[in-house]
Amino acid sequence: MPNLKSIKRKISSIKNTRQITKAMKMVAGSKFKKNQAAMNEYKAYASIYDGIIGNIKNNSVLRLHPFYGKNDGKDSKTGKNIGIVIISTDRGLCGSFNINLFKIFNEEIKSKGLDENKIKIYVLGKKAYDFFKKNNYDISFGMLYSDGDSILNIAGLLCDAFIKDFENERIDEVYIISNLYISTLQQRAYSEKLLPFEVPDDNISSDRSGGYIIEETAGYENEIIDKIFNNYLRTKIYSKILESFAGEQASRMNAMDNATRNAGKLINKLTASYNKARQTAVTLEILDIINGVNAVK
């Protein structure tokens, strides 16, 4: 027969846990509203910047820019040094939010046939940092959000790290793996190529340049293009971070909601077991009394 005190202790413990998960869901909900607003406000700016870059990149004059990369005879992915940017979180208890990033990372290695010894990692967030450090990857840049710097500065430092390595030809391609915010109930990890820029098709009409005219001259004009391209990458990274923040809190809300409901189900199950065990105990006591009375007679 189950121990009544043990069952009662378990019920009490799970009730306390349910209170904690319920409170964590409320905290995550409050943070989510703030992060979602920041993400949506910045997304409009980032979208316009994407359009500008899309138009500028159609100009053949820019194909000599370092961000378009060099082939160097490296036709195979296995012969290239690959940089991978990972946007994770500092904290857990957010479901499979971080695990999905690592799954995409492993899938990218297999699908592209990448050489793990030629991969450099640029990581934000403690969860990803711990994962790649444990698996002995080459972490060229690692930073936690809890380090105290502003998110905008963190995005800038990250960009400076992989841009410098790309321009110095220490890496040939750069990919970013982060979580795409789809809705409160759905976040999807995905991979996107950052560098080098894709060379536009030669058949593209100059009418698709969006009205931007870039002259083939050296000097200040090139500095402007450099600044535009660098700011574009910073904008993209910052946008991904904000999107990750919103997705993290949404995922944590869902995880804590599931934990709260599961705790409730477990409490109901244990309560039923407790009542059944108590009824059994009472029945046995009554039988003992009856047997005792019969023995006296």
Around Cβ 123, how many Cβ atoms within 10 Å? Answer: 27
Give the model's pLDDT for residue 197.
86
CA distance 253 to 245: 12
Give the pLDDT mean for 140-146.
92
What's the pLDDT tens digit per position in 159-195? 999 999 999 989 999 999 999 999 999 999 999 999 9
Across 12-145, where does the E strand assignment appear?
A: 82-87, 119-124, 138-143
CA distance 170 to 80: 10
Q: Considering only CA atoms, which of 3, 31, 94 is closest in space to residue 280?
A: 3
Beta bridge partners of residue 86, listed in sequence order: 123, 177
What's the pLDDT tens digit per position in 22-64? 999 999 999 999 999 999 999 889 988 888 888 777 776 677 7
Q: Is 214 helix (H, G, I), strand (E, B) or coil?
A: coil
Q: How does residue 5 score in pLDDT terms, banded at 50, 70 and 90?
A: confident
CA distance 295 to 297: 5
Around Cβ 165, how many Cβ atoms within 10 Å? Answer: 20
Q: What is the percent of the chain with per-residue pLDDT over 70, rounded to a whole number?
A: 86
- List of residues 6+ apart from 174 with CB closer than 8 A: 82, 83, 84, 85, 162, 166, 193, 194, 195
pLDDT at 139 over 80: yes
Give the model's pLDDT for residue 209.
52
CA distance 227 to 127: 32
List of domains in the chain = 19-256 (3.40.1380.10)
CA distance 254 to 94: 8
Q: How does residue 202 score in pLDDT terms, banded at 50, 70 and 90?
A: low
CB 80 within 8 A of CB 172: yes
What's the pLDDT tens digit per position in 241-293? 999 999 999 999 999 999 999 999 999 999 998 888 888 877 877 877 777 76
CA distances from residue 265 to 7, 11, 13, 29, 176 in whole angstroms, order as listed: 15, 11, 14, 23, 40
Residue type, 113: G
Q: Is 268 helix (H, G, I), strand (E, B) or coil?
A: helix
Name the region of 267 (left: φ>0; alpha: ψ -120 to 50; beta: rest). alpha
CA distance 177 to 108: 10
Residue 258's φ and ψ, nearest 5 degrees, are -65, -40
